[in-house]
Amino acid sequence: MRNLRVLGLLCLLALSTACVGSTTYHTATPIEEGTIEIGVMPGLYGVVADGTSATLPNLEFGIRTGLTENMDLGVKINGLTLTTDLNIAVINEPTFAFSVDPALTVFYFGAGEASFLWTFATLGLLADVVKTPGFTLTAGLKPGFVYISVSGEDEDNEEISAAGNGFTVGATIGAKFKLSKNFALMPSFDVLTPVENFGEGLIFNAGIGLLF
- What was the pLDDT predicted at 12? 44
- What was the pLDDT predicted at 175? 98
Instruction: Look up the CATH number of the domain holding residue 141.
Output: 2.40.128.90
- What was the pLDDT predicted at 157? 66
- What was the pLDDT predicted at 197? 65
- What was the pLDDT predicted at 117? 85
- What was the pLDDT predicted at 95? 97
- What was the pLDDT predicted at 79? 80
- What was the pLDDT predicted at 116? 79
- The residue range of the domain holding 176 is 4-211
Q: How far is CA 89 from CA 31, 34, 44, 52, 99, in A?
A: 11, 16, 29, 39, 4
Domain count across the chain = 1
- What was the pLDDT predicted at 9? 44
The pairs formed by 184-191 with CB atoms below 8 angstroms and a separation of 24 or more are 184/209, 184/211, 185/209, 185/210, 185/211, 186/25, 186/26, 186/211, 188/23, 188/24, 188/25, 188/41, 188/43, 190/22, 190/23, 190/24, 190/142, 191/22
- What was the pLDDT predicted at 144? 92
Bridge partner residues of 71 (DSSP): 68, 88
- What was the pLDDT predicted at 194? 84
- What was the pLDDT predicted at 4? 41
Return averaged pLDDT per consecutive 10 residues of the chain, 212 residues in all. Answer: 42 48 90 97 86 86 97 92 96 98 89 79 97 97 90 68 85 97 96 76 90 98
- What was the pLDDT predicted at 212? 97
